[in-house]
Amino acid sequence: MKTILNIIWLVFGGFWLALGYFAAGIICCLLIVTIPWGIASFRIASYTLWPFGRMVVDKPGGNGVFSLVGNVIWLLVAGIWIAVGHVVTAFAMAITIIGIPLAIANLKLIPVSLMPLGKQIVPTDRPFITAYR
């Protein structure tokens, strides 16, 4: 079931959302100082391509002062706009019955799009084993 939902997701919005995150990652990596946000953007892009069967957890030891400051900067510069994009896309997907799980997955992306630093993407069947290695 996860594979079918991921394929439908990819066709009906996941590819374009991931492309946006990928483009943001390239821009951030070109600006040298913003490389941590670029890496986080690439991580979110991979999650956006194939979200079903994976989840976002806090990275062990990744919630320090630098992550907090970086997340606040990200929130002000890009996070709010990306979250608005996810809400609009979720609304468009929720119009049909088939799109409701896709809309829910889109809403699951909002917290990580607002605060990407200090997060890790893990499989849903082993969230604690993978996250705390």
pLDDT tens for 90-126 read: 999 899 888 898 999 899 999 999 999 888 888 888 6
Structural domain count, the chain: 1
pTM: 0.81
Nearest Cα to Cα of residue 9 among 74, 102, 72: 102
Amino acid at the residue 21: Y
C-alpha to C-alpha distance for 72 and 67, rounded to whole angstroms? 8
HEC letters along 67-94: HHHHHHHHHHHHHHHHHHHHHHHHHHHC
Report the pLDDT value the prediction gives residue 87, as an integer from 0 to 100.
93
pLDDT tens string 79-96 = 898 889 889 989 998 998
The sign of the CA dihedral 53, 41, 118, 60 is: positive
Question: Which comes out higher in pLDDT, residue 127 or 111?
Answer: 111
Task: Give yes or no for residue 24 having a pLDDT over 70.
Answer: yes
Q: Which domain holds residue 123?
A: 2-131
